[in-house]
Every structure is written in structure tokens, then in C-alpha cells.
Amino acid sequence: MNKMTLRDIEVTDKRVLVRVDFNVPIDIHTGAITDDSRIRATLPTIQYLIERNARVILISHLGRPKGKVVDELRLTPVAQRLSQILGQQVGVAVNCIGPEVEKSVETLRDGDVLLLENLRFHSDEETGSADFAKALARLGDVFVNDAFGTSHRAHASIAGIAQYLPAVAGLLLEKEINTLGGILEKPVPPFISVFGGAKVSDKVNMLKNIMGKVDCLLIGGGMAATFLKAKSYEVGRSLIEEESVGIAAKIMEEASKSRVRIILPVDVVIADEITTEAKGEVISVENIPPDKRIVDIGPETLEKFRIALLGGRTVFWNGPMGVEEIPQFAEGTKCLVRLLTDLNATTIIGGGSTAEVINAMGMADKVTFVSTGGGASLKFLGGEELPGVVALLDKGS
Ligand code: 3PG
Ligand code: MG
């Protein structure tokens, strides 16, 4: 990465304002955090700062409260979880800007950690307001961006603050950029990418950007229906994006020109509806009835994927293989997790729902890297510059 990191600056005795992505999934019924991996992923940065006697001021969003205070989206449970993991009390401020918050920051001692309240309780955060960015910047002497998962947003706390404080990358941000960037720069061949998830449109840029580097593409999940349709298969009532059928056809054409192998499902699980009661049935892709939907990949497909994956030295996976929220349609996705964890290869998992599945299975430590970025990793791998990274000081500056 050609950006400065917190290792390049003096942090001792400084007020260090750290943007983190603590946008963790929360159970709507119990309010419990269901996956704390985004919190854990920031520990290297937080501990680095504590060890050097910095005063650590963490800022984050949670959910999409759209400029209003929403009690369910307060960061208190996140602070509690962070306190447990760190083994050190982490306070929560009443707000993220203003005189009261400034007072709380003044009382911090070296090595203390304070989490400010949800940035998105202010609409100025998402509009990227300069005044809001300045109000945040007043709280710190230096700014560290460790929120890789939000770095595709040009928000006040991501790109704005960097105009007013010396701004560097945190250790998580650095690791994300180096690891994901490594896939684009010099993946050890054979390089295999597995794509799933609902929409082709989300992944078009990434598919195009990766095409010149990859040796083999495995396609499952909802988006497989669009590819199958492009090959004139009947896909029943599977959700397909009409406008993406042509794109899928082009991608397959390009792949065959550049000798990239594409493996599509040969069998799938189909169901009447996508509900928790629905029953699945395995069927060949040649025989999908017009009144059914594809909800997962089938066992024969998994076997094909397994054999292909065995030949890979670098494997990147993004997007579930089926409707992973419904247990009876999550098998393909879970089997793929197991296949990946058995490989003798560099295995990298994109963030979002793919990361949630592997975290829930407790197998994240059995792959090389699990990204904390959903949208951010798609954009980054699609070749876009991330505003949160662009804003940071260049190495050597
Ligand atoms: C994410 O979960 O993808 C990030 O935290 C960004 O959240 P957003 O999609 O609401 O901007
Ligand atoms: Mg999101």
C-alpha cells in the first residue's frame, strides 16, 4: 500500500481519532451482536495505540438511522463487547460531536479508549458535510482510518476528516488493501474465483477486473440463474436480471477467448418458494420446471467445484451459493466453506454474507483471510479507488 500507516507517525500521548467499522449484525429481537468479527478485526490497531499510551477515540456508524437518533442503533452493546474482548473499560460518549463530547475527550488519560455515539445519528455524516468533519477533527490530533468496510463511502468521517488532520491507515485497513490488492496484482496461479450471491450487476466490475488474472471461475448462487439463462436453460421462477443476461453472455465469451474456464452448476436445489417451510429438491439444470426457483447448488456441482478447487494455489470467494439464511438451502454454501478450509492454497473470502457464514461456522481461522468489507471489497476488486483510502497521506509525504 502506498499510504502512510499509524506505524509512520508519532502517537504517544496523542489524541488519536480512529474511524472503525463497527457496523455489526444485531439480532432484531434480542439486540445481541451476532457476529463480532468486525470488532475483533480492529484489535491490532487499538492495542498498538494503547501500548504506546495514545488516547484512543473510536468513531463508527451502526446501521442506517438516516440522521435520526434510533435507540436500537446506539453503540452501547458494541462498547460492552469491545470492553470484554480488550479486558479494559471502554466508555461510550453521549454523542459524536459537541461540547459534552469534547469534555469527555479532555478527561481521557493515556491508554484510555472512548467510543463515540453512532455517527449516522447526524445526517451530515453521509452528506459529507465539511462542518461536521471539522467538528469531529477537533477531537483528535491525528486521524487513523481503520474502517475498510466503509471506505467506499465519501462520508465526513471517512474522507472529510482527512482534510483537517494528518490522516493515516490503520493496521486492518492496511491488511485488507494488501491482501485484496495482492489478488489483483500477482495471484499465485492457478487462480480460481468462486462467485455467488443474488445479483450479477453487483459483481460485473469485479468479474471484468479479475478476468485477466483468473484461470477458472466457479459460479453459483442466485447469479448462476442469469448465466444459465444466457446459455438458454429454463430457470423457472428464479430471480434473474434481464439486463444482465447479455452481460453474462459477454463474460462467458470473453472467458473462452482468454482461456478462462467457467464452471456453472450442473444440478441445483429447487423449491416452490423461498420460505423457511419450503422443501428443496435436487434436479439437473436441464430439467428445471417453469414454476420452481433455484435456491442452492446441487451435490454434483459441488463435486465439480471440489475437483476444480483442488488445482488452485490462490482461491478467492465472494457470495453464497444459495439462500444461505434458510438452513435447508444453506448446504451448498456450508459445503463450500468446508472445501475451502481443506485446501492447500491461499484462500481469501470477501466480506458481507459470505464472511458471516464462515464466521458463524467458526471456521474463519482456517482460511488465509476473511475481508471485513462487503460493498467495499466489491468496489476495490472492481478496480475503483476508495475515497477513504485516497484521502490518506501518501507514503513518504
Ligand atoms: C457495510 O456493512 O457494508 C459497511 O459498514 C457500510 O455500511 P453501509 O452499506 O450502510 O454504508
Ligand atoms: Mg452494506
- Residues 73-85: tens digit of each pLDDT: 999 999 999 999 9
- What separation in Å is there between the alpha carbon of 364 and the centre of ligand 2? 20
Q: What is the DSSP string of 40-60?
A: HTTHHHHHHHHHTTPEEEEE-
Spatial distance between the Cα atoms of 332 and 238, rounded to a whole number of angstroms? 17
Q: Kindly tell me if the per-residue pLDDT of 380 is higher than 90.
A: yes
Question: 326 burial class (0-12, 13-18, 19+ CB within 10 angstroms)?
Answer: middle
How far is CA 73 from each of CA 12, 39, 164, 186, rounded to the nearest angstrom?
32, 16, 28, 41
For residue range 88-147, list pLDDT tens digits in order: 999 999 999 999 999 999 999 999 999 999 999 999 999 999 999 999 999 999 999 999
Contact 170, 54 (CB under 8 A): no
Q: Kindly tell me if the per-residue pLDDT of 202 is higher than 90.
A: no
Q: What is the DSSP string of 159-192?
A: IIGGGTS-EEE-HHHHHHHHHHHHHHH-PPSSEE
Assign residue 98 a region: left if phi > 0, alpha if psi is -120 to 50, beta otherwise?
left
Atom 9 of ligand 1, nearest CA residue: 375
Instruction: Give me the mean pLDDT over the 289-317 stretch.
Output: 97
Instruction: Give me the mean pLDDT over the 218-240 stretch.
Output: 95
C-alpha cell at 293: 426457483
Binding pocket residue ranges, ligand 1, CB within 6 Å: 21, 23, 64, 149-150, 153, 374-375
Q: What is the pLDDT of residue 28?
A: 86
Contacts of 153 (CB under 8 A, 6+ apart): 126, 387, 388
Q: What is the pLDDT of residue 150?
A: 98
Atom 11 of ligand 1, nearest CA residue: 150
For residue range 326-358, list pLDDT tens digits in order: 999 999 999 999 999 999 999 999 988 999 999
User: Which of the residues 63, 91, 182, 375 is marked catalytic?
Assistant: 375
C-alpha cell at 148: 475498510
Residue 14 annotated in active site? no
CA atoms within 13 A on the CB side of 2: 4
Question: 262 burial class (0-12, 13-18, 19+ CB within 10 angstroms)?
Answer: middle
Residue 98 annotated in active site? no
Spatial distance between the Cα atoms of 192 and 207, rounded to a whole number of angstroms? 12
Cis peptide before 190 (omega within 30 of 0): yes
Across the chain, mean pLDDT equals: 96
Residue 181 annotated in active site? no
User: Which of the residues 222, 298, 352, 374 is marked catalytic?
Assistant: 352
Neighbours of ion ligand 2 (CB under 5 A): 374
Q: What is the pLDDT of residue 351?
A: 85
Atom 7 of ligand 1, nearest CA residue: 150
Residue 197 annotated in active site? no
Spatial distance between the Cα atoms of 383 and 369, rounded to a whole number of angstroms? 20
Q: What is the DSSP string of 234-264?
A: --TT----HHHHHHHHHHHHHHHHTT-EEE-
For residue 115, give the nearest of 144, 89, 138, 141 by alpha carbon: 89
Instruction: Give me the mean pLDDT over the 34-62 stretch.
Output: 97
- What separation in Å is there between the alpha carbon of 123 and the centre of ligand 1? 15
Dihedrals φ, ψ of 129, to 5°? -55, 130
